[in-house]
Chains A and B, each alone.
Chain A
Amino acid sequence: MSFLRRTVLALGVTGLVTAVLRLRGTGGVPPQTGGWRELSGPDFR
C-alpha cells in the first residue's frame, strides 16, 4: 500500500512539473538586437 501511494505521488508530481514547464516554459531566447522592418515598393524592384 505504501509503495502504491509513493508511486501515485511520484506520478502526480511528475505530471505537475510537466504541466508547469509546458505552460510557463519557453523554447528559446529572444533576439537581443535588431527588429522587423516592413518592406515596401522599392524593396521589390
Chain B
Amino acid sequence: MRQLASTPGVQRIAVGDRDPDRAARVARSVGEPVRPEVGDAATWGAADVAVLADGGDHLLHSRRLVGEGVSVVSASGDPHDVAGLLALDAEARQRGCLVVGGAGFAPGLSCVLAAHAAAGFDQVDEVHVATVGTGRPAGRGRHRVRGGDACEWVDGQWGPCPSGSGRQLCWFPEPVGPQDCYPDATAGVQLLASAFPGVGRVTSRVGSRRRRERLAPHLPGLGRPPRDGRLGALRVEVRGRRGRVHDTCVLGAVDHWIVAAGATAAVAALSVAEGRLGRTGAGGLAGLVADPPAFLGELWARGVKVAVFEGTATSTARSSESG
C-alpha cells in the first residue's frame, strides 16, 4: 500500500477489507491517495488493477474481477489458488486483462530472480528455490502445505516426495547464512515449470529454525506465523547450458518477508497498469516480466536488495538424494 502510494502518477488507491474499520484505519495511516472503499473487491470494476493481498478467497475475487475486465495481482502463494488463477488464462486473454499469480516474496521475487538468472543461459535445466521465513497471510498457507506431500517437477511431470525427506543445507545471504531446508509444496514450482518449458527439474525447499519442525516436519505448524513476517531469506539456483558449457547461477535476497512481498506486488501492479508486461492472460512473474533487470532495479530503488553468489555452489542434486 505504502509502496503504491509513494509512486508518482498513482491517482487513487482504494483499500478494502472484510473489516471496514480496519480499511479506514489503513487509509488514514497512509493518507492520500489512499481512500477506504465500501464493498468487496468484486465491486471494483473501474480499477486499472486490483491487488489481492489478504487472506481471503483470491480465486473467487479474481474470477469476478476478470469477468469485469480488471487485471489482478494476487500475492497468494497457495498452490490451489495459483492453479486456479492460471486456469483463468483463456478468459483473461479474451477480456484483454492480466492475472498475475504468486506476486509476493516466494513465489514472486523468487520467480523474477529465476527469470533474471535464466536469461544468462541458452537452455535452463534445473531451478531450485529455497526460502526461510513466512509472512501473513502466506504463513497460514505455508503451514497448511507443509503437512502434505511436497511436489517437485521432474522431466515434465509432477513427482511427489514425502515432506521431511530430502534435507539439504542451503546457504542464504547474511545474516541468515546456512539453514537446513526440506521439500515444500509451494506454488512457485508450478509457476516456474510453466515459465520454463523443457526444464528438467524444479524444486522448492523451506528452512525451519524451530526444533519441533525439524523433529517432525510432516506435522502441521502449531503456532501462528509471526505477525510482522520477520526476516525472510530467498535462494534461487538455476542450472543450465551456455553452448556446450554447463553452469550454475545462484541469486538470493534477505529482507523482511512482508516488506519485500509488498514491494514486489506493488511493482507488479504498476507494471500491469503501465502495460510493461506486454501481453494478456494469466501467469507468474517469471513468465510475464519481460525485463527482469528493470523489475529488480525498481525493487532495488525501493530498498529490496538482491545478491549473487560468486564462487562454487553446492550440489543440490547430490545432497537432495541423501534424505
Contact = CB atoms under 8 A, between A and B. Distances in A.
B169 A26 contact: yes
Contact of B314 (A19, A23, A31, A41): A31
B307 A34 contact: no
A27 to B, nearest CB: 4
A36 B305 contact: no
Interface in A25-41: 25-41
A40 B304 CA distance: 10
A28 B322 CA distance: 9
Interface residues of A, number: 23
B156 interface: no
Contacts of A26: 169, 178, 180
B306 interface: yes
A35 B293 CA distance: 21
Contacts of B180: 26-27
A43 B120 CA distance: 13
B211 interface: yes
B250 to A, nearest CB: 9
A5 B214 CA distance: 29
A22 interface: yes
Nearest to B252: A36
B118 interface: no
Interface of A: 19, 22-23, 25-41, 43-45
